[in-house]
Amino acid sequence: MYSCGGPFCDGYILGIIAIALNPLAREIGLSVGKQGLVAAASLAGMFLGGALFGFLTDRYGRRTMYTLDLLLIVITSAAQFWVQGFGWLFVLRFLLGVGVGADYPIATALMAEFAPKRRRGMILAAMVGAWWLGYTVSFLVGYFLSLPEEPQWRWMLASSALPAALVCLLRWGTPESPRWLISQGRTVEAEQLIRLHFGAGYHIEEAHSSETDYRLIFNSRYGPRTAFVCLFWSCQIIPTFGIYTFAPELLRALGSPHPNLGTMITSLFFLVGVVAAILLIERFGRRPLLTIPFAITGAALVLLAWLPQTSTIAIALSFLTFAIFNAGSSVLQWVYPSELFPTEVRATALGFSTAVSRIGAAAGTFLVPVALQKFGVGYVMLAFGTTCGIGWLVAWTYAPETSGLSLTEASLGRGGPQ
């Protein structure tokens, strides 16, 4: 629950801007280009947060960073209520992104290192499910706060401070990861924690220490895995953030008479896909859960590019199909990097992968309003569909199967081709 609270806040922060962006742009006078920059600011901040804090988490431990990143989110979320122009709004959204990007490797590494191997995939998938739950709740809050004649966009943006503050308090006092302690040579402390929280009958099969080194994720063993995670993650979230940050505008361009309501309904289907993936990941396996949805989402987006605006039902079905399968396969974004790398660089790899994936997501999000205005919605959907096609090719060629393996076995590559 405490680990999932961070992803819930992350999803909420990145989702609420989709509803708030249009009214705030009218009130403080943002051009189309500045709207794209505001929407992409958090993603750019996630680049710094993921790349830096993942490494710091491996160097200095999971426990300390586990609450500090939430404090940053609380402060910057609340400060958004008083912004008066583009400059401060961009800075605050960027700092929010730093906090969000930091939480990905921190909470995920800690959870992966406490989870039993038989349910590790399900537990890590549930964390991504919490992200989508936060994303969905943000649309519900945003929709109801937009019902008055003057949408309350300041309250929308500042509201993320409330769940972040609660999670920060709940996380206080969380124990350090025994795996990390062992990786630092602090075996006695690790054994004491294991006995305290699990009992005398438990142990960790990984009993070596190794120094954290950023270069390790680029060596001959782990470099191909780093490339694989960065590529498939990027191909998933470029269309995700590009589409759902500007979902109301895209639905309006596709002919929807109620774009805000359509966005809220679509967000509910995210959860359908995530819940299905959580239930299937241990039975179905990691590799099929990545390759099949890439093919389906790519086809759905290409179909959207060619459908006439009069095909309301077909457009709705294609949009919902994308939502279900894109959200479902997104659970692998935290499962694979948690399993394919050893303890000493687990958070580093996850943080670096987060950072790289956000470069493409930020660029795509920035370009969506410009591309909509210049080329039209059909070309935007076609570009996103092509991105999914590239993701399918990467997954089909390189995705390993790590179901049922311990973290040590998975990081050593004992689960099939890497």
In a domain, 418, yes or no: no
In a domain, 148, yes or no: yes
Q: Which of 396, 415, 37 is nearest to 235 (CA)?
A: 396
Tens-digit pLDDT profile for the chain (418 aa)? 888 999 999 889 988 887 888 888 988 888 888 888 888 888 888 889 988 989 988 988 888 788 888 999 999 999 999 998 999 999 999 999 999 989 988 888 888 888 888 889 999 999 888 988 898 888 888 878 877 667 789 999 999 999 999 999 999 888 888 888 888 888 889 889 888 888 888 877 655 556 678 888 999 889 999 999 999 999 998 888 777 666 666 667 666 666 666 666 777 778 889 899 999 999 889 999 999 999 999 999 998 888 776 577 787 788 789 889 998 999 999 899 999 998 889 999 999 998 888 787 777 777 777 777 788 778 888 988 999 999 999 999 999 999 888 888 888 875 544 4
Give residue 210's pLDDT.
63
In a domain, 417, yes or no: no
Q: How far is CA 12 from the centre of its chain?
A: 11
In a domain, 238, yes or no: yes
pTM, entire model: 0.79
CA distance 96 to 76: 6
DSSP string, 173-223: TPPPPHHHHHHTT-HHHHHHHHHHHT-TT---S--------GGGGGSTTTH
In a domain, 239, yes or no: yes
- Structural domain boundaries enclosing 340: 2-411
DSSP string, 246-307: THHHHHHHTT-S-HHHHHHHHHHHHHHHHHHHHHHHHHH-HHHHHHHHHHHHHHHHHHHHHS
In a domain, 361, yes or no: yes
Give residue 411's pLDDT.
85
How many domains does the chain divide into? Answer: 1
Burial of 11 (C-beta count, 10 Å sphere; 0-12/13-18/19+): buried
Tally of CB atoms within 10 A around 66: 27
In a domain, 216, yes or no: yes
Mark 165-186 as b/e (b = at least 16 C-beta within 10 Å): bebbeebeebebbbbbbbbbeb
Please give the single-letter amino acid code of residue 265: I
CA distance 383 to 126: 30
Q: Which of 297, 292, 304 is nearest to 322 (CA)?
A: 297
Q: What CATH number does the domain containing 324 carry?
A: 1.20.1250.20
In a domain, 356, yes or no: yes
DSSP SS3 for 362:
helix
